[in-house]
Amino acid sequence: MATNEIDPVVPGINETPGAVFVEAGMGQAWQSGAAARALTLGMAPELMLDLADLRAGIKVLDVAAGTGEQTLVAARRVGPRGRVLATDIAAGMLEVAAEQMQQAGLANVETRVMDAQSLDLVSESFDAVISRLGILLIPDRQRALAEIHRVLKPGGKLAVIVFGAPERNPLWSGTMAIGRRHAGLPLPPLEQPGIFALGAPNLLEHALRQAGFRAVEVRAVSAPRHFPSIPEAMGYLTGSTPMLREPLAKLDPAGRAAMLADIEQSLRQYEGPEGVEAPGEVLVGVGTK
């Protein structure tokens, strides 16, 4: 992967993707947060599939597919005559994705463990490529984008979702800041692989153009984070997402308790009659080969 969302989770904030979600059981933990993730991306996943021009009968590659929520929707769009290949570096994530496809009765999806930086795929073999919150986590994203460009057919489209700037996503950036402050860890440089790696203005557009894509377009999409209650928000931040994994591992029990108390207090600014709702923004980019 990077491994997918973010999901939203997002796989770890500015962590090396190869280490994310590889541990046993992480795929199941990620799957448990699927409903929450579905509520945190707004209309962005559907827009990604629209911009990729997914239609019946085509062949689609899903890079850093994670547990495959978007893979499932893509497979339904292309129909039984179409095919979707879901790739990720984390086998556990793809096992969950494969189970989802089986439960949905979809026979047009294949999952394959694969590094996005070195796609073991024939050149010009896919009509479209999608990636939801994956490109931003890949160590050498330009190499990965070049590989995607290579496997696309001429005229094929790549559509991706990435997070916007930290200030547009205060729940994630605030939680990260509190956790790392308590653990005595500096904030990692934004340009490193991680949640905000492509959130700066024009950075995603530049990355796509540099990889050889034309007709590049990037749209900002409102993606507020909603949770029914503060306990459910805390459960998501500390469980489904490894956002706090490094601080939690570094702190002793008292330090963890203090950190979590501060994060819970910070969530109260977003609390309302319908639960917790914080502003958020993602970027949906598309380019044509």
Go through the domains of the chain in sequence order and give each one's CATH number.
17-165+193-223+281-288 (3.40.50.150)
- pLDDT given at position 236: 87
In one-letter notation, the amino acid at residue 213 is F
Residue 9 in this model has a pLDDT that exceeds 90: no
Please state, rounded to an integer, the average pLDDT across all residues of the chain: 87
Catalogue the E-assigned strands of the chain: 59-62, 83-88, 109-113, 126-132, 152-163, 214-222, 225-227, 271-272, 275-278, 281-288
Question: Residue 216 — pLDDT band, cuts 50, 70, 90?
Answer: very high
Contact 95/68 with Cβ under 8 angstroms? no
Residue 13 in this model has a pLDDT that exceeds 60: no
Residue 44 in this model has a pLDDT that exceeds 70: yes
For the chain, the helix, strand and coil percentages under 3-state DSSP, each to the nearest 5: 40, 20, 35
- Give the CA angle between residues 132, 138, 140 to the nearest 5°: 135
Beta bridge partner(s), residue 109: 84
